[in-house]
A = this chain, B = another copy of it.
Amino acid sequence: MDDDVPPGGVSRPGSRPATMADVARRAQVGRQTVSNALNSPELLRPETLARVTAAIEELGYRPHAAARSLRRRESRTIGHALEHSAAGRSNAVHDRFLHALADAADAAGHRLLVFPVDSHEQEIERYDQLLREQAVDAFVLAHTSEADPRHRWLHGKSVPFAAFGRSWGEQSYGDWVDVDGAAGTEAATEHLAAAGHRRIGLLGWPRGSGTGEDRAEGWRRTMERHGLPVRGLRAATANSTEEARQAARVLLDREVTAVVALSDTLALGCYDVLRERGLRPGADVAVTGFDDSPIAALLDPALTSVEQPLEQAAKECVRMLLARITEPRHPYRHRLLAPRLVARDSSRPPEAVAQG
């Protein structure tokens, strides 16, 4: 009873995992034939293949990862840095992306190695170490920034990589996937306009951040398309709570009937200010957020938000990575994914505000 039969085969406690030679012996074939059974089954006569496969099954054989890496000169492992978030505060979006990345890498038959980093510089240092150890074949980047040194470095070394987050700089290296933030706020703004809102404020970040400008643009162009005013309806704030509230107060003073916030956190600040003034989010002033973080559904009223297709993004990153490994010289690929608006009560009761 101590000696469970594992899913894939027999195992006597204390016995070393089966090797290729063991399988060959049992199947009465040469070692190379076992290797072929795994890597080029079409070379084997069906009956030989069956015999080898049976032996593999019976012994619960799996190729020794290190031995395989050594000979093949590839690790089938993807590296991914975990940013040491300063305040110990975790990033829900990246966390979901990470899970999705683990799925995607796994589905593609690759291992995922994660390691901590403090800064882009240190991240590059770790890239270098891992590459010299030949512990990874490629990297997936996240938290891309404006003048991100990682792309250039990896490009210079011809290391396959894919980034989640576009390269904002003029000169861009590398494959990337990103979420179309503008399309997200466009959907949110459109949703509000369709409900009859005319004075729709934007609660965002200071000018200059790539993500911020991208998302803001979706609001601006939708407002213009509908012939709605934008002047004075854009308030900026760093992401601290108190500042967010201050910015929200400014917007409400301009008598907006709806607010498009560029993050759920900002939307939460907006909720606070509404309540502080005796107004009810949703009923009196509509609010939308961004990221569809866990709190969105928990808030009262539940917050309409824009959900990023992170599973798809991770899959696409891995797909690009594999393509890059196969065709190292192919021109860099980019892909924007459309996010999805999740309508909830914070933007719902249109009848209460439809007098726009």
> Chain A interface: which size bin?
35 or more
CB neighbours (8 Å) of A124 from chain B are 7
B156 and A60 contact, CB distance less than 8 A? no
**A98 close to B (CB within 8 Å):** yes
**A17 close to B (CB within 8 Å):** yes
**A106 close to B (CB within 8 Å):** yes
Q: A69-B66, A84-B103, A90-B92 are in contact. Are A158 and B13 (CB under 8 A)?
A: yes
Which residues 99-122 in A have Cβ within 8 Å of B in the complex? 99, 102-103, 106, 111-116
A131 CB to closest chain B CB, in angstroms? 7
Give how many copies assemble into the complex.
Answer: 2
A112 to B77, CA, bound (A): 12
**A125 close to B (CB within 8 Å):** yes
Q: Mark A9-29, 1 if CB is under 8 A from B, else 0.
A: 001010001100000000000
Q: A62-B132, A300-B272 are in contact. Are A156 and B2 (CB under 8 A)?
A: yes
A3 to B156, CA, bound (A): 7
Give the residue among A13, A113, A132, A276 with the most B Cβ atoms within 10 A.
A132
CB neighbours (8 Å) of A11 from chain B are 157
Q: A99-B82, A156-B3 are in contact. Are A112 and B114 (CB under 8 A)?
A: yes
A102 to B156, CA, bound (A): 28
A111 and B99 contact, CB distance less than 8 A? no
Q: A6-B128, A113-B113, A156-B13 are in contact. Are A135 and B95 (CB under 8 A)?
A: no
CB neighbours (8 Å) of A353 from chain B are none
**A327 close to B (CB within 8 Å):** no
A90 and B294 contact, CB distance less than 8 A? yes
A89 to B296, CA, bound (A): 11
**A349 close to B (CB within 8 Å):** no
List 27 contacting pairs A-B, 8 Å CB cutoff, sorted by A: A8-B129, A13-B157, A60-B128, A61-B132, A62-B132, A64-B70, A64-B134, A65-B133, A66-B66, A66-B67, A66-B69, A66-B134, A67-B70, A70-B70, A82-B102, A88-B311, A90-B95, A92-B95, A99-B116, A102-B114, A111-B135, A112-B114, A112-B115, A113-B113, A114-B114, A268-B295, A269-B298
